[in-house]
Amino acid sequence: MKKWILFLCMGMMLQFARAQYELYPTNWWVHMKWNQVQVLVRAPGKDLKTQTASVQYPGVKLEKVSRFENPHYMVLHLAIGPAARPGIVNIKIGKDVVQWPLGSRRTGNGTAFANGATSADLIYLIMPDRFSNGDPSNDRVPGMRDQSLNRDSVFERHGGDLKGVEDHLDYLKDLGVTAIWLNPVLENDMPDRTEHGYAFTNHYKIDPRIGGAPAYKSLVRAAHAKGIKMIQDAVYNHTGLEHVLFRDQPDSSWFHRWPKFTQTNYKDQAVFDPYGSKIDRKIMEDGWFVPSMPDWDQSNPFVQTFLIQHALWSVEEFGIDGWRVDTYAYNDLPFMNRCNQALYNEYPRISIFGETWVHGVPNQSYFCQNNYAIPFKSNLQATTDFQTLFYGIIPAVTQPFGWTEGVNKLYTTLAQDFVYKDPMRQVIFLDNHDLSRFYSVVNEDTAKYKLAFAWLLTGRGIPQMYYGSEVLMKGTTWPNDGYVRLDFPGGWKGDAQDKFTAAGRTEKENAVFDYIRALANYRKRSSAITSGKLLQFAPYDGVYVYFRYDDRQTIMCAMNTNNKLATIATSRFGEVLQRFRQGTDVVRGSRVALGDSLALQPMSNLVLELQ
């Protein structure tokens, strides 16, 4: 009995010690290439400057202890050798013992997970709070700063969660989706505007209001079981004001500091301008994005390692397949190269694309792998391709045709692909959570909308569509961006309409849904579209013709951006069409003869598989 009481007391003491300490990363794995692990220890209310630290675990060596101005922190530099086995590493700090799990690695690197999004995929972007509420019990979580729950407000939380996404995986698979990109899932314990998730407050917690880590792991498992990849949203540039490492900073070198608040100038040109001033570049890179988002100082080696280890930890812990990196151009770019390389080393098939909301192909291509002979060379695989959006498909469907206007802009922008190392990795899109919905951009003209989607699903690169686009969700960023982040109708119990079902959609919505689904599922089977080459012909009279082809298949895409019927002479495309006599309309299934001319319907994109 005395022995049992002794064990109970010891167990309670260990529990108490664990509760007093926060360890980042919370756990690690044996046989990782990243085997020199920086464990950041935080113990509020304790003076760690006076405490010794030791580790006694086979294969794990404590090489060094780093301390900071703030006595609540220390860093343990652990070397995890090849002989280390999974188990619980007991870390002794002063008289306390803190447990740190060391696990076995996830199996299936590059196949079951970390498999990367490619041009064979269709990415579907979801804001979890606005897609579907699968578990109402987590709508409000006691103790969190934002207790709003008001679907009548575009600013406040609505209650959507990860279970809601999991509940609709069959819907997405039927639509032709092969990868899901979620807006940030990490804890965002800010006092307001927390629906988007871009102001982290704890890197090692999944936000409990969308279901926490259990719901995230369940979603990733369920998605993978259906052949759907998962892409996580990373934010390296900044964090939220309420982040534990900002509110209780290890020292003054973890975040960029200015004599008075200084916002970034948003001038990406300052980063690569050969004539640029140092102060413009400093403000661009070190200025805060907005007042509520402190800017990490990525020249600090502890900050670098903290962010890199979190990226590696997320892939191994949750089994994600790729990364979308927020505000990529505002980061310290040499640091981003190091972070990307650490991910490539550990997960060779992982994919990474960065948000580069810039203007101009040279500007955009500077931030990813390119063919320039310049001092800085980015190792980022690709970017979100704002150029083919702003200077491509939008003018193609909204501007009258001219020498440099209309669809000529799409042709011209694509002609500059020679600057990219691999343009097929570029992520093309029509809209996202920061932009007006494309259906509103084209003034709810379904002909223009379908034309644009035909380009999205047959163009070069990796297509990404925004949740609800398939059911004609609309909204503009004026008067505020909340109107492009509305709820998916049918995602909440009691919704008047359920757009997840054909019965809940209007005739017009079903026509567009069926069109997108037909093309999306066709592209999955098309080697020419998913991995083939692009051949484009200069537009004439508002008609733009391009081909996707490989050794097995040739696809002809004829885009008529006029509001009237167009008839084109096929002889101009003889270098391709001389081998073919007819084609199959991949959406309607009808045969189309390739004679001397081809008739194109007004504002349409005819997609033919040639025979």
Q: Is residue 518 part of a domain?
A: yes
Q: Which among 525, 542, 564 is the end of a domain?
A: 525
pLDDT tens per residue across span 184-210: 999 999 998 899 999 999 999 999 999
Based on the fold, state whether residues 504 and 572 are members of the same structural domain: no
Q: Is the pLDDT of residue 56 over 70?
A: yes
Which tens digit of pLDDT belongs to each residue from 212-221?
A: 999 999 999 9
What's the confidence (pLDDT) of residue 5?
A: 47
Specify the number of domains making up the chain: 3
CA-to-CA distance for 562 and 40, rounded, in angstroms?
A: 61
Residues 210 and 296 in one domain: yes
Same domain, 94 and 178: no
Decide if 140 contacts 66 (C-beta within 8 A): no
Asked whether residue 91 falls in the same domain as residue 149, the answer is no
Average pLDDT in the chain: 96
Kindly state the average pLDDT of the residues 162-189.
Answer: 98
Predicted pLDDT at 14? 44
For residue 97, is pLDDT > 60? yes
Residue 110: inside a domain, yes or no? no
Query: Do 91 and 135 fall within a single domain?
Result: no
pLDDT of residue 9: 43
The verdict on residue 112 lying in a domain is: no
Average pLDDT value for residue range 273-288: 98
Instruction: Kindly state whether residue 114 falls inside one of the protein's structural domains.
Output: no
Residues 455 and 506 in one domain: yes
Residues paired with 462 in a beta bridge = 427
Please say whether the beta carbons of 179 and 324 come within 8 A: no
Contacts of 598 (CB under 8 A, 6+ apart): 558, 567, 568, 570, 592, 606
Q: Average pLDDT, stretch 64-70?
A: 98
Average pLDDT over residues 292-320: 98
pLDDT above 50 (res 12): no
Q: Give a yes or no: residue 115 inside a domain.
A: no
Model pLDDT, residue 18: 54
- CA separation (Å) from 29 to 59, 102, 103, 389, 418? 12, 5, 4, 42, 41
DSSP E strands in 104-222: the ranges are 123-126, 179-182, 186-187, 202-206
> 483: how many CB neighbours lie within 10 A of its CB?
16
| Annotation says 514 is catalytic | no
356-385 mean pLDDT: 98
Q: Domain of 74: which CATH number?
A: 2.60.40.10
> Which of the residues 167, 355, 487, 509 is marked catalytic?
355
Average pLDDT over residues 164-189: 98
Angle between helices 446-458 and 507-525 (to 10 degrees): 10
pLDDT of 48 > 70? The answer is yes
Q: Which of 491, 525, 559 is the last residue of a domain?
A: 525
Rounded to whole angstroms, the Cα distance separating 102 from 29 reads 5
- In which domain, by residue range, is 562 found? 533-610
Do 17 and 133 belong together in one domain? Answer: no
440 pLDDT above the threshold of 50:
yes
564-569, long-range: CB within 8 Å, 24+ apart, which pairs?
A: 564/602, 565/599, 565/600, 565/601, 565/602, 566/541, 566/542, 566/599, 566/600, 566/602, 567/597, 567/598, 567/599, 567/600, 568/540, 568/543, 568/597, 568/598, 568/600, 569/596, 569/597
Which one of 195, 326, 346, 385 is the catalytic residue? 326
- Tell me the CATH number at 538: 2.60.40.1180
In a domain, 108, yes or no: no
Q: Residues 598, 577: contact at Cβ < 8 Å?
A: no
Domain check: are 458 and 537 in the same one? no
Q: Has residue 113 been placed in a domain?
A: no
Residue 543 has pLDDT above 80, yes or no: yes
Say whether 355 is catalytic.
yes
Give the β-pairing of 462-466 and 533-536.
unpaired
- Same structural domain, 394 and 520: yes
pTM here is 0.96
Number of residues in the chain: 611
Domain ends where: 525, 541, 558? 525
The CATH number of the domain where 435 resides is what? 3.20.20.80
Both 471 and 423 in a single domain? yes
How many Cβ atoms are within 10 Å of 241's Cβ, its own excluded? Answer: 15
pLDDT score at 499: 98
SS3 418: helix
Within this chain, do residues 151 and 229 fall inside the same structural domain, yes or no?
yes
Is residue 554 domain-shared with residue 509, that is, in the same domain? no
